Every structure is written in structure tokens, then in C-alpha cells.
Chains A and B, each alone.
Chain A
Amino acid sequence: MIVKGTNLKKYFPIRKGIFLQTAGHVKALECVDFELNENETLGIVGESGCGKTTLGRVITRIYTPTGGTLEYITPEKKLLHLEKAVDKHQLKRFRRDFQMVFQDPFSSLDPRMTIGDILREPLDVHKIYPNQRERDEYIEYLLERVGLYPEYTARYPHEFSGGQRQRISIARALALKPRAIVCDEPTSALDVSVQSQIVNLLQELKEQEQMAYFFISHDLDLIHHVSDRIMVMYLGSVMEAGRADEVFHHTSHPYTRVLMKSIPHWDPKQRKLDKIHLEGEPPSPINPPKGCPFNTRCPEVMERCKKEMPQLQPITDNHSVACWLFDD
């Protein structure tokens, strides 16, 4: 195991007035449990506002969690608690092992730095390769590794297309030889014809470098393609989790089922969107509903759902659901 979160919460304060008094909270994450194992892809899927991006940023400690525990197990099997203020050196060690690839290839690279500068930064921060020649060779190797030419080091980000920038972003994440990479929608800003190139690259790197991925996407098909295990999120909570095949072939939670049906099928002879009926929209995370967060839209809603929040319960060995329908 590399990292484990228990009961993770993240609330963002809404501030008002000249002295910024807290007027309420955006409850982005509500009691999320997860663990990420060595060389595994954990897929997080959900619609906008479900908290998947927040979770990714809590895991990389861009955000400090509001509650719960976040444990990191170092390669030496030491346990570090990351949920509170962390020792600077320990955090740096963790940063080296945990990298991130972002969604927007147009804002994830500093426009004023050359590709060489961008890839040099992580190496300099962690003082890897103090020898300049070795370092430059390694940077060229990295570029080749992600399918770009080593001559690109002197160029600026705006000279590249979205797909190429995403490759540079991946090279930067790879530079520190991390144990895990958080991929936050790495393909959704790219052209359709380029998306598969990036997915293939990520898959190939995972196998060769023995890394784990924390893969965030709104695209169910993509999540199924890359993940070993998946978690389906809605309004800050996990609705369903388990082995990817299990969840896809024995979809249990009403929300996951609706989500599955909402994906267009690429088959004009079997149009299906008019057969689904999901009314309404997700409620605001500032005032989430009492009980199950999905109760306002659920086609199978019961009285109980409006009062009590269901917990994630295993229904088979590799599959758990948070829904009162599965409560025996």
C-alpha cells in the first residue's frame, strides 16, 4: 500500500465582509475512504462538483484535509501522517514520490519557461543530478521517453499543441521517478484523435516504471479502460467502489446505473438516451440534502434515504455500495 485515506473531509469556507468572516462551507468532500496500492490504477469517476478534483488535490497535499486521516507508507515501510502540519523534510520526501498530471495543458506549463527549465525544476528542487551534463542528458531522455524530440528543450510551451504539452506535463511528473501519479482528467481537454495517444502513453509508462495511478475522469469508458479498481463519486461522497469489471458488469448503485445509461453509445441503430429518465440536477454542495446525497434525483428513493446517510457496504468481495437498497 502507498497511501490510505480514512474519513477524509474537505470543506472550503465561504468568506464575506471586510474581515472575511466565514459565512458557510462548500462541502467538497464528505467522509471519503480509499487506499492506493503499489502499481495499481484507482479510477475516480463522477460529474462536475462531485469532489473528484478536490480529492486528487487532498491526496497530493495541495489542499490540507479538514478532517480524517491521510497516511503515507514510505518505501521503507514507515508510516507518515499527512493530514496535519507535516515536517518539511517528510513532505518533500512525499512530494518526490507523488506527482500529478493536470487537465488543462494550456495552463499547466509556465508560459515564461522553456521546456528545459520546466523539466529541470523538479530535479533542482530535490537536488537530483547536481552534475549539469548528466542532468541535461536525463532531461533529453525524459523527452524521448514521452515521445518528443530532445531538441525541444529550448522551446517555449506555446510552440506546442495540446497533446504535446500534455506529454511535457507527463515528463515533468516522471522526472522524479515517483511511486504514484495523480492524473486529473489528463485527456479531456485534448482532441479526440490525440486522446488515445496519451492514454496509451500513460498505460505504457505505468507498466515500465511500476507506478500507481490515481486516475480522475468524468468519462466512464476511459475509467473502465485504465483502472484496476474504481470509485464512483457524487456530491463529495463515494457511492460505489470496487474492481472495475465488477462495478461495470454488476452495476448496483442507482446513480452509477443512470451514469452508465447516459453515455452515448456510438451506435445510431440503438439510440438509447430517450429511454433514460433522470430528472433534476445535483444539489449544491453548500447545502447538501439530508440523508443520501442522491435522494433528490434517485428513481428508487425510499423514506429512509431522506433521513439517514448510507455507508459504503461490501456486497461481494471486491465490490461495495453506499445505498439502502442493499441493506439487509
Chain B
Amino acid sequence: MSIIQVEHLKSFFKTDEGIVKAVDDVSFELRENEILALVGESGCGKSVTAQTILGLLKSPPAMIEGSIKYHGQELVGLSNKAYHKLRGKEIGMIFQEPMSAFDPLYTVGDQAAEAVAVHSKLNKPEIRDKIIAMFNKVGIPEAENRYDEYPHQMSGGMLQRMLIALTLACDPKVLIADEPTTALDVTIQAQVLNLMRDLQNEFNTSIIFITHDLGVVAELSDRIHVMYAGKIVEKADVVELFDHPKHPYTKGLLASRLKREMKGQILPFIKGTVPRAFEFPEGCRFHPRCPHAMEICKQKDPDPVAFENGHVCSCWLYLKQNKTDGVESQ
């Protein structure tokens, strides 16, 4: 069963440089109790997708089209007030820089209490107990004392755990995590990823996990959607994607991984650079960097092709093949 259903979502921005098609015709669903990873490089639209779902984009300059359904409720065009009720309580969020989520002038405990109080009817001591219990759960040592400390007295890893605790204290059905471990060291990242896995199992939360790091995705997610230049180019479940990548971009990303046996050798790479959002190329947006680019790729954007096991890939390579094989394209 799907909790969030995104269909033909477009988030465009009007700027001096022209219209930026940050997210262009993206469709996907978030199923119950799963971790869905949106993977891509800078400017691919993964964060904008998240912000659109959370209703954080102001329009204008943003122009949003398409549909986002949360439990059947349409979110596109929802009023700020309605969104305010939804955020935190129903859909929680965690960002890359935990420091910026906290106000330096108040203790972490006060801020946590404020966030919890918005959505619950508990009295003050009850809230305090609940937050300390949550801090303990996310592995914060001496949670009682930490409650009365200020954000700057805490490390990035600690703040990120607190943010996770805080978000989960409101018991959201969906958690959107935008690069939550990118600013952390590997050993701390491992701790936080473990924590997220455990909590997801315990609270039955569905998570949209946004990252550029395929290693993190392999450790954590159930399904993966690969984004490039505002579009989803490939969808598959995690094992399938790592074992049988189909899109040339996904293949390129997976190949660029450093392998021990390749020491000192020339690494495989994707030529060129990630295009900026206001100069996305015509046709398939990956074609200038694609090793298999054909004439058609420069002219028309490919439609998604469905394979078995829910594997979907938007690439002309398979569209041609499918026509000759007589397999129905989606």
C-alpha cells in the first residue's frame, strides 16, 4: 500500500536566467514501512522533490504542477495552515546540517519540548520525560544533563541524533531525510544509519532517504530511484539495482566506485560535468555524457520502460530493443 503517491510532479522556478526545471515530470510512490532512496548528484532535483512534498517552496518563484497524494489527500495547492498541521505530526524531516535546525539561543531540551508540544496534549513534565526517553533511545549519553545544554555544546553527530529523536517523538508516518549523514564522519555515520534502521523497524515509519552516496543506499534502503537533471532515470529495488543496473548513468555511477583491486589504475568515469539547472540539454538530459548516445537521444526524451521485478528505466536503448522484442513499453 502506498502512503505517498507522486504523479507527474513538476517544480519549476522563475529566475533571471530563465525557467529552471528543477523537478520535471517525476512520478513515484512511497510504500508502507519501506526506505525509499532518492539518489543523485548536486542539482538533480532530489532535495527539491523533498521540499515540494513538504510544501516548503514558496510560489512564486516556484511553480508546482502535478499531484502529491498523502493517504489519498492531495498536497499540491494545500494551504500553509493545513501544511503546518501535516508537517512534523504526519511527515517529519531531517536535514543535512543539524546545527541549522536548532536555535543557538535556547537549550536543546526547550526546543525539543516546543516541537513536541505543538502536536501533543501532554503537560510540561510529561513532555520532558518523553524527550529524555527519546534521547536515551537514540543513544545520547547522560540524556538528563544534555536536555539543558545548548546546541553549540554538542557535536554534529549528537545533534543529528537529537533531531532524529525529536522528529520521531511526534510519531510521524513518513520521515523525509535529506542527506542526514553527509556532514558526519564515517564512524558517526555508521552509528546514525544503524539508529535510523532500528527506529524504522520499531516505529514502522516509511522513509524517503535522499543522498548522493551509493554506499549508504546499499546499506540502508529497500528501493532506489536514481535521479539525473530533474528526472527519475531508473527505479528498482536495491539488490536488483546494484546487480543489474540498466541506465548508462547508473552504470557509470556504480563503476566509478573505488575497488581495492583497481589500486593505482585509471578509474572508469563519466565524461563531462553535471549540467546546471538552467541549461539542461534537449532530449534525454544525460545524452552529452552518455557513452551510448544515439541520434534519437538528442531529440526526444525517452519514456520509462518496465522490466520484471518492478525495475523501470528511461532510456532509448531499451525502447528500441523492446519494440523489436515485442514487449509492451509502459
Direct interface between A and B, CB < 8 A: yes
Asked if B186 and A191 make an inter-chain contact with CB atoms under 8 angstroms apart, the answer reads: no
Write out, one digit per residue, whether chain B residues 246-257 have a CB within 8 A of any chain A CB (1) or not (0): 000000111011
Q: How far is the CB of B208 from chain A (nearest CB, A)?
A: 18
Residue B82, interface by CB 8 Å? no
Would you call B258 and A222 a contact (CB within 8 A)?
yes
Question: Is the CB–CB distance between A263 and B242 below 8 Å?
Answer: no
Distance (whole angstroms) from the CB of B215 to the closest CB of chain A: 3
A window 265-300: CB within 8 A of B: 265-269, 271-274, 276, 278, 280-281
Q: CB within 8 A of A268: which of B155, B197, B239, B257?
A: B239
Question: What residues of chain B have their CB less than 8 Å away from a CB belonging to chain A?
Answer: 41-42, 141, 155, 157-158, 185-191, 193-194, 197, 212-216, 218-219, 221, 238-239, 242, 252-254, 256-258, 260, 262-264, 266-271, 273-274, 276, 289
Flag if A281 contacts B188 (CB, 8 Å): yes
Is A264 interfacial (CB 8 A cutoff)?
Answer: yes
We find that the number of chain A residues with CB closer than 8 angstroms to chain B is 47
A6 contacts partner chain B, Cβ-Cβ < 8 Å = no
8 contacts between A and B (CB under 8 A): A192-B256, A193-B289, A194-B269, A225-B263, A244-B263, A264-B219, A268-B239, A273-B194
A196 touches B239 (CB 8 A): no
- Would B41 and A258 count as touching, CB distance under 8 A? no
Name the one of B187, B257, B274 contacting A47, with C-beta atoms under 8 angstroms.
B187
Q: Chain A nearest CB: distance from B75 CB in Å?
A: 30
A269 and B239 contacting across the interface, CB-CB below 8 Å? yes
Residue from A47, A164, A266 within 8 A of B214 (CB atoms): A266
What does DSSP make chain A's interface, helix, strand, loop or mixed?
Answer: helix
Q: Give Cα A276 to B187, complex, Å.
A: 9
Q: Which residues of B contact A199 (CB under 8 A)?
A: 267
Question: What is the CA–CA distance of A265 and B266 in the complex, to the nearest angstrom?
Answer: 21
- B185 x A47 contact (CB < 8 A): yes
- CB atoms of A259 and B242 under 8 A apart: no
B212 contacts A200, C-beta separation under 8 Å:
no
Taken together as a complex, chains A and B put the C-alpha atoms of A19 and B256 apart, in Å, by 53
Neighbouring B residues of A7 by C-beta, 8 Å? none
For residue A218, CB closer than 8 A to chain B, the reply is yes
**Complex Cα–Cα for A262 and B190 (A):** 6
Q: How far is B155's CA from A161's CA once the two chains are assembled, in angstroms?
A: 31
Residue A311 interfacial (CB < 8 Å): no
CB distance from A105 to the nearest CB of B (A): 12
At the interface, yes or no: A69 with Cβ under 8 Å from chain B?
no
Q: Is A197 on the interface with B (CB-CB < 8 A)?
A: yes
Whole-angstrom CA separation of A178 from B289 in the bound complex? 33
Residue interface mask A237-267, B partner, CB < 8 A = 1: 0000000110010000000001101111111
